[in-house]
Structure formats: structure tokens, C-alpha cells
Amino acid sequence: MRVANVFSRYARRGGMGLLMAWLPITVSAATLPAVDETTASPPLLSDRLDAASPRLARFYALHGGAPVWQDREAVATLVELLNALEAEGLDPADYRPARLEREAEAALDPAASEAAGIRFDLDASRTLLAALSQLRRGRLDPHDVYPDWEIPVAAPRLDLVGIERALAAGDVEAALALARPQGENYAELRRALASYRHIARLGGWPMLPVRQAPLRPGDVDADIALLRRRLAMIGELEVMAADVLHYPEVALEAPAQHRYDATLEAAVKRFQRRHMLAADGVIGPRTRAALNVPARARIETLRANLERARWLSGDRPAWRLEVDLAGQRLDYRRPNGDHWGARVVVGQPGRASPVLRSEITYLTLNPTWTVPPTIMREDVLPRLRRDLGYLAEHDMIALDHEGRRLDPRGVDWQRPGAVMLRQRAGPRNPLGRMVLRFPNDHLVYLHDTPARGLFRRPQRALSSGCIRVENVAELTRLLIADSGSRIALASRIASGETTNVSLARPVPLALHYWTAKGESGGLASFRPDIYDRDPALIRALAAPAS
């Protein structure tokens, strides 16, 4: 493989001929050093740079146009940086540091030709720029993994001046820090990856045997000792029972190894909450399955989410509303820096809520609900064919394609054609009292719901694609205030009239999908992969770079 091909996925999109032309850097003319005639690039190098990408040429301009990797110490720093990418969830083998070391020995040999030295120098520089760019914005093109990907991936901007200075000083960590994505989410995932890799190096955690009866608080059972060891591996050290044969003096204080006591129950409930399970302290089939996922599988999930974090690491507005579809949570970051959060209900498997970015532009108050085609076909029509009274029971009317009301008794419900069903506004309407609208091609939105009991469930992938928001009235009041809008929300809702109201300023919105989130202390929460999006990403990351 030629190192230049590292970026082939990016170069393919948009018909870009030059490999790195799309990758801007933060270097201005004022920051470039003047070229010293005594160190001007040799003809072989300058000839090749004339045909190189602008970014590669700029990188050499930082060195006065001279070769960069002409001593073993510099090459050792580059190799150290490439190997350090493992801590970022990348595979150093994709950048072939061992091959670079071998080629450096040949190229730096006094008997080597000048052309061989220049060829190696350019190859090493391309490898560095490829590695740092992929650290910044991802090794993979998300469109290659997910054909339905909609969020633009920003071109990586690298501070080459700072990176060059860090490498010249041999400070690999400083160079990586200038390239890696910023933000709390990436940093926490990275710390979690280090923790789970450490667990894997220790041999992983013990597996709990499959059994018919669940383990409950108060039980005495040999499997409880394994449970204690399993939880201790992720930092729940207080659950570990001391070996009283070796430490008899602590026998009175240590928890009984085989007894399911209150301390162990609290640790189990924390584990269950981190994995979106019912926090009842009972080790039933679902909790046992989550406990028995191998550490190496958790590592692959963390790597997949680090790659997602790189794709999404472009500039994000400080004022924004984000929905984590897998985590089934909403986080609203207000202009004043405050956070407001809520549980949400998202699309069920087969009717997935999309991953996208948009802006909330207007509200619908006291909305009617026009039954979407999928729900019409799969849910409503089968019931309606059995009982025409379904319409009256759900306060629905039938309309033709021009919006004229139809007599349902005159419709052939086996072949209804373009007939629409619309539910009137009111307390039983599935959209509740308000809808937050944003442009998208999926006809999804955020809305209220009369079925508020669903928010108490630990897993809430239950809708047909739209997102139901807990306490959406409070969120709507915040959006009205923060956008500078003048909307008399309470009186408009009390009127019962269906109205659309524009916000004075659109609110940035993102729907993301995180199957892992880092937490304090190097722990991580893992969420069910409700839309089965992880396997394709994990396979793509495992495939050799081409």
C-alpha cells in the first residue's frame, strides 16, 4: 500500500483529485519562516513538492523547504507518535511504524542515494499528516459505513506550526493533543478505553454461569463470589471480600464472600443504571448477559464510539439541543451555559429515529396528527378493517388527497388509496399539546405525549421514529425565552386552536447515536445497540487500511 492511499476514502468523495487538498491547516503567511538559501530544498525534493498536495508543501515550508526526517531521533519521535495512536482507539498498524523504521535504516545509511532519502522523507511526512488528520476527523468516511449518513464531516484543521514545534522538541503527547478532537465526550471515552484495555490485559473479568434462578439480595450462593470479582474489575472495590485465611484480622469487617449483601446490591444497581437496565439489584437474564459481555467486546464498542466522536468533532455551537438516540436522553445546552436534560422515547427497531443535524424553527401548538404512511399501513389499517368504530374511538376523521372529509363507510379500506386519517387536537392526541419542528427528510420531530408513563422505563425505543420528550412544556418555555421569542404559550394552548408559531431564532439541533459514554473514574456506560449500527463500524475499523 502507498501511504498516499491512506486518505483514499476522503479523496473519492466530491471528485477531489489531490489527496490532501480538502484538508486546510491553520498556517498563515506570517507564521512561515523565511527560506534560508543555505538550507533550501535540494532539487529532488523541490521537484517532487511542485507536484505534491498544497498541505504537504506547506508542511515542508515550515522547515524552510528542507527534508524533515534525516536523523534517527526524528524518525524515532514519528514512530512513537504512530504507536501512541492506539490510546486514541486507532490501530497503529494502519500507519506501519515498523515499516518506517526499516525504511529509515536504509534511507539514512551513508551509502544510500539522495533520491532514496527524499523518497523516504516524503513517505514519512505523508504518513504523519494522514495519521493526524484521521485522529482529528476519523479514519473512515462515515458514508462508506452508513449509506444513510447525513451529517457533514468537517475537514480537519491542523495546527501544523504547533505540531511541528512539538515534534522538534520530541514531545509526542503535545503533538497529539493539538490534533485530537476536543470536548468532554472524546476525553471520557479515551479514558474508558485505557481502563478497559487494562482489564483485558489482566485477563478480563470472570463469566457468571448460566442458571435458571436469579440472584437476589440476601441470597447465599457460590456465584456471588464471582459477581464480586466481576464488579471489582470495573472499580467497585468495596464489594470485594478479603481472604480471611491470609488476613484473619479483617474477618469481622470483610463482607461474606458468598452472601448478597447491601453493599453488593448498591454496586449491582449502579451497574444496571449504566447499562440501561431495571435497577432492581436482581441478577436476572438481562443483567447477567450484560455482566458477561467480554472486556474485549467492550473495547471494540469504545473504539467505535471514539470514531463517531471524531466524525462529529467539528465546530459545534455552544447553544444547542442534542438527543442521544441510543442513550434515550436529551441534553439542552442553554446560551447562559446551563444544562437542561430529560428522558426521551425514540424510534423502535425497524422504525429508527435518524441521525442528523438541523434547527428547530417553529412550534405547533394543539397539533392534529396525520397518520404517517408506515403507521397507516402496519398499525391502523389492520385494526380499522376489523372495526370501523376505531376512527370514532380515536377521534379520527378520513380525508381525501385534497383534505376534504370522507364518510368512512364509503371507503374501501382493503384498498384505501390516497385516503388520509387525521386525529383531532386534544388530550388523547399522540402528539400531546405541542410539537417542536425542524427541517428534515424523515418527517420526524420532537413532541409531547399523553403516554407519560413510558418515560419511567429504563429502555424507551418505542415510537415510530419521532421523539417524545419528557416535560416538553418546560423545554419549550426555555426555547422561547432563549431564542428571544414572544409567544404566550399558556394562553395559546388553552385556546385549543391548532397554530404554528415561529421562533425568533432557530435552535441548533442534533440527533446522535452513542452506544458508549465515558464516565468519571474511567468507567463507561454501555447502551443497547437498538438499531444494530455498531457491527458495521467495528468491522470497518478492523479492516486493513487500503
Nearest alpha-carbon partner for 66 in 122, 113, 27, 21 = 122
Gap between the Cα atoms of 299 and 8, Å rounded: 27
3-state SS string over 80-119? Answer: HHHHHHHHHCCCHHHHCHHHHHHHHHHHCCCCCCHHHHHH
3-state secondary structure of 425: coil
Gap between the Cα atoms of 133 and 296, Å rounded: 27
Domains of the chain, by residue range, sit at 3-180, 316-368+427-514, 369-424
The superfamily (CATH) of domain 316-368+427-514 is L,D-transpeptidase catalytic domain-like (2.40.440.10)
Nearest alpha-carbon partner for 507 in 359, 339, 323, 364 = 359
Each residue's pLDDT tens digit, 481-538: 999 999 999 999 999 999 999 999 999 999 999 999 999 888 899 999 999 999 999 9
Bin 196: left if φ > 0, else alpha if -120 < ψ < 50, else beta. Answer: alpha
Mean pLDDT, the chain, integer: 88
- In sequence order, the β-bridge partners of residue 329 are 324, 343
- The low-confidence residues of the chain, meaning pLDDT below 70, are 1-43, 241-255, 546
pTM confidence score: 0.87
pLDDT of residue 401: 86
Nearest alpha-carbon partner for 415 in 436, 438, 384, 375 = 384
pLDDT of residue 255: 67
Containing H/E element for 421?
strand 420-423
Gap between the Cα atoms of 54 and 529, Å rounded: 41
Each residue's pLDDT tens digit, 260-283: 999 999 999 999 999 999 999 999
Containing H/E element for 274?
helix 262-274
Gap between the Cα atoms of 177 and 335, Å rounded: 28
Question: What backbone phi and psi angles, to 5 degrees, belong to 217?
Answer: -55, 135
Gap between the Cα atoms of 88 and 171, Å rounded: 17
3-state secondary structure of 259: strand
Q: Would you give the end-to-end CA distance of the chain in angstroms?
A: 7
